[in-house]
Each structure stands twice: as structure tokens, then as C-alpha cells.
């Protein structure tokens, strides 16, 4: 019969507890920073992109210009396009769709609020909501359908930021609750181990007392 030593048993239990805390406290990385407004106002990149500046469609650069024009309009109607800020070289893969935060693709559909070919001739006005560097933002701008360039800027998306902030608080609370539950189970386990060790020590002490009180029997030969 194989016996497990006390040291090996403690190592096994410690490994089990470590696995348990990793499993129970697993959480995704937060999508947003704690103070989005402050970062948007003070971060140098956001300060540059929040000013209206020249933007350009960057898709299919290896294709002829007339083909790129058609592809750009097709992509806009599909609800996406690659746009770059010329001054900073910042490239964005924008999505022009309502319910952009939904996990269901059928909910994310381009509407006139996000893709508007009718506001001005030869231009398309675009709007996109997304999270950039931990901050909820909104891109607004227009692109000339012939030149494939235009004007755009970033805005702070206060409405979505509040939603994400609530989700962040719930995520932190859930993590802390799971951590407290794990620590409580760990404390309970240590108490059980201490009681078991005390009980085993009492048994050993009792056996030693019995052994010491027994008188050995001797025989004499004639």
C-alpha cells in the first residue's frame, strides 16, 4: 500500500488551492480605464485626434483609383472601412453600424445615422463608436467619394463611457467577491488541518501513555 507523506500531501493541497483560485478568479481584462474622461482630455494623442483634421481612405492601395472608389462605397454600405488621420499617421478600422456593442452580428447593421450618402453630393458622412486605448470614443467625419479623403475627428462618447464604467465596477466587485470566497475557504481548510493535527497528536500521546503503563511479563526457567 502506497503512503503519502505529510510534505507531499501539503504540496498537493497547495497546488490544488492555486489551481482553484486561478479557475474561480479568472476574469477578462477591463475594456476601459477607470477615469476615461481624464485620459481623453489629457492624453496627447486624443488631444490631437479630437481636432478636425484631414483623413483618408487607406484600403486597397495597390488597386487603380476608380476601383478603390467603388470598393470604398461598397465597404461603407457594408458598414466598415479603413481610415487614417494624415497628421498623426493613426490608422483605424472603423465600423459604421448601430448597436456596435452587441455580440450578435444581426444587430450590428449600418443605418443612415452612421452612413449617410444623402447629406451632401459626392460625399459620405460617417460615424463610428469604439473603444480606443481604454476610452469610449466616437469618430465623426466625411469622405469625398472622388478624392477618397476628407475631414474627421474623435469625440468622447460619454453615454457609452458610463455603460462601460458600470460594467467595470461590476467586474471588479465580482473579482473581489470571488477572492474573498477563496480566502475564506483557504482559512477554513487551515483550521481543519490544525484541528486534525491536534487530534492526531492527542492520539499519539494517549498511545504513548498506554505503552508506558504496561508491565512487561517475564518467565523463569527451572
Most confident region among 17-31, 86-100, 177-191 by mean pLDDT? 86-100
d(CA 36, CA 50): 14
Q: What is the mean pLDDT of residues 57-72?
A: 96
Task: Give yes or no for residue 175 having a pLDDT over 80.
Answer: no
Confidence band of 183 (pLDDT split at 50, 70, 90): confident
d(CA 104, CA 108): 7
Mean of pLDDT over the chain: 82
So what's the pLDDT on residue 218?
A: 56
DSSP secondary structure string for all residues of 90-156:
EEEEEE--TTTT-S-GGG----TTTEESSSSTTEEEEEEEEEETTEEEEEEEEEETTTSEEEEEEEE
Give pLDDT tens digits for 1-54: 444 444 443 343 445 444 444 444 445 667 889 899 999 999 999 999 999 999
So what's the pLDDT on residue 215?
A: 55
So what's the pLDDT on residue 139?
A: 97
d(CA 145, CA 126): 12
User: Do the beta carbons of residue 138 and residue 155 sit within 8 Å?
Assistant: yes
User: Do the beta carbons of residue 140 and residue 50 sit within 8 Å?
Assistant: no
Q: What is the mean pLDDT of residues 48-69?
A: 96
Q: Is the pTM of this model over 0.85?
A: no
Half-sphere exposure of 18 (CA within 13 A, CB side): 6
Amino acid at each position: 500500500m502506497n503512503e503519502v507523506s505529510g510534505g507531499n500531501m501539503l504540496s498537493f493541497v497547495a497546488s490544488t488551492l492555486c489551481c482553484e483560485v486561478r479557475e474561480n478568479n479568472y476574469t477578462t481584462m477591463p475594456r476601459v480605464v477607470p477615469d476615461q474622461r481624464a485620459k481623453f482630455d489629457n492624453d496627447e494623442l486624443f488631444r490631437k485626434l479630437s481636432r478636425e483634421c484631414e483623413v483618408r481612405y487607406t484600403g486597397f492601395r495597390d488597386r487603380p483609383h476608380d476601383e478603390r472608389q467603388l470598393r470604398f462605397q461598397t465597404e461603407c454600405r457594408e458598414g466598415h472601412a479603413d481610415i487614417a488621420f494624415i497628421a498623426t499617421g493613426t490608422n483605424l478600422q472603423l465600423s459604421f453600424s448601430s448597436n456596435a456593442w452587441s455580440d450578435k452580428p444581426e444587430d450590428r447593421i449600418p443605418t443612415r445615422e452612421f452612413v449617410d450618402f444623402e447629406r451632401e453630393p459626392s460625399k459620405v458622412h460617417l460615424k463610428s463608436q469604439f473603444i480606443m486605448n481604454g476610452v469610449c470614443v466616437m469618430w465623426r467625419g466625411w469622405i469625398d467619394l472622388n478624392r477618397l479623403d476628407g475631414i474627421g475627428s474623435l469625440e468622447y462618447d460619454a453615454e457609452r463611457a458610463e455603460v462601460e464604467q458600470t460594467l467595470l465596477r461590476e467586474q471588479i466587485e465580482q473579482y473581489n467577491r470571488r477572492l474573498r470566497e477563496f480566502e475564506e475557504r483557504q482559512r477554513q481548510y487551515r483550521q481543519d488541518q490544525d484541528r486534525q493535527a491536534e487530534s492526531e497528536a492527542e492520539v499519539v500521546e494517549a498511545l504513548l501513555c498506554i505503552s508506558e503503563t504496561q508491565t512487561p511479563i517475564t518467565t523463569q526457567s527451572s
